Amino acid sequence: MALDRWIALILLSICLAYGYTAWFTMDAGLAPFMKRNPIWPSTFPKVLSILAVIACLVVLSGIEKSEPKEADIDYRRLHEYKLGQAIMLLGLMVAYALCLRPVGFIFSTTLFLFLGSFILGERKWILMITVALIATMVVWYLVQQVLGIYMRPLPGILGG
């Protein structure tokens, strides 16, 4: 079986577990007044799990396959790809997730976007920090003010 199908099989098992959680365990702890709402907190995870399972099944069945191109990933030549960048980005994502609460959303997200663009090869420092700050502030404003979901903007020692 090709590498993409193995990955789809692994993702399918993860999506099925995620879907089981969304469909059967997330709604158990809802308050009685929320059970009458048309949209529950589990609505988006349910839709996401259905779409992900469909996408995995499409890859597993090979529907999306066309004639092999030169640009397809060859798992026998995996060492020739930029695995260092991918591993550094995964490490940066883990560090971001761990630093989000103690460091605060604004600083950790700005640093994540800045370092992520640096890892991917961007070297225009002013542009990188400007885009990271604007994107962070827009997302924080939308989540905090528009949606009304509190996110700690600053570290706890700075009053966040």
Q: Mind listing the pLDDT tens digit for each residue in 116-129? A: 999 988 888 999 99
Which distant-in-sequence residues (6+ apart) come within 8 Å of 101 by Cβ?
A: 152
Counting other chains too, the contacts that 113-121 makes at CB distance below 8 Å and 24 or more residues apart are 116/89, 116/92, 119/85, 119/88, 119/89, 119/92, 120/85, 120/89
Whether the predicted model's global pTM rises above the 0.95 cut: no
**pLDDT digit string, tens, across residues 33-79:** 777 777 777 788 889 999 999 999 998 888 777 665 666 666 677 67
Which residue has better confidence, 96 or 79?
96
Q: Give pLDDT, residue 111.
A: 94
Structural domain spans, the chain: 3-65, 83-158
